[in-house]
Amino acid sequence: MRTALVTGSGRGIGWAITERLLRDGYGVVAAEVSRRGLEVLQERATARSDERLLPARVDVTSRAEIEAAVQAAVDRWGRLDVLVNNAGRNRAADSLTTTDEDWDWILDTNLKAVFFCSQIAAAQMKAQGGGAIVNISSTSAGGLDGNPAYSASKAGVIGLTRAMAVELGPSLIRVNAVAPGTTLSEWVRKNSTPDSLTAAANRNPLRRNGEPEDVANSVAFLASEDAQHVTGQLISVSGGGWMP
């Protein structure tokens, strides 16, 4: 059985990815830091009879907690085949109002932690003969609808993806990224107005905003053996709103 670790899996895009990988037959360590997210994951795990969903409290800025999550996959299933770096955060600010605290708060989770998680998971993948890492970037990496710290973090994820793809390729570890556009997660619906969502939809050629499942489908492909000759790539899941 193939196995995966998904960070930020308690809701929205993270849960859609987790649910899709479970449907594809993976065992999944569902990493989440919020208490409510963990409660929901535990309820879902209890409702299942196959023990393929393993909730874990993980603060991705803690190297020790990441190591424990990777070890949890190995302890239960003997290996870790896929890492999905989905956990992220944002805070409203612009170039003149972003504080040092804002910058560090966003970059620590959105970029530094992606490296930590990838580094730790890659060591396990190398030892077992290969694996796949999928990083969640954003169309904000292109300067679209993002504050400076968030845009910088998500652009950094793309550069990190390419650098690690080159370095880890000889160990048969593939590293790719997905860049969602406006995606109708619970957080986006709560923090957006109907008019802003309509405007966002009208900015892309397909004239609709994304659903979390749209992102999950691209992640599932990049994680799968169908993408065994794909690495260092960025897929924009934005209805054509951003064509990098």
**Length, in residues, of the chain:** 244
DSSP 36-56: HHHHHHHHHHHH-SS--EEEE
Burial (CB < 10 A; 0-12, 13-18, 19+), residue 95, is exposed
Measured distance CA(61)–CA(178) in Å, rounded: 21
3-state secondary structure of 194: helix
Task: Order the strands of the 82-85 sheet from edge to edge.
Answer: 53-57, 27-32, 3-7, 82-85, 131-136, 173-180, 234-237
Taking the alpha carbons at both ends of the chain, their separation in whole angstroms is: 35
Q: Give the phi and the psi of residue 78 in degrees, each rounded to 5.
A: 90, -5
| Catalytic residue check, 150 | yes
- List residues bridging with 85 in a β-sheet: 135
Determine which one of 15, 77, 116, 150 is catalytic: 150
**Which residues are marked as active site?**
150
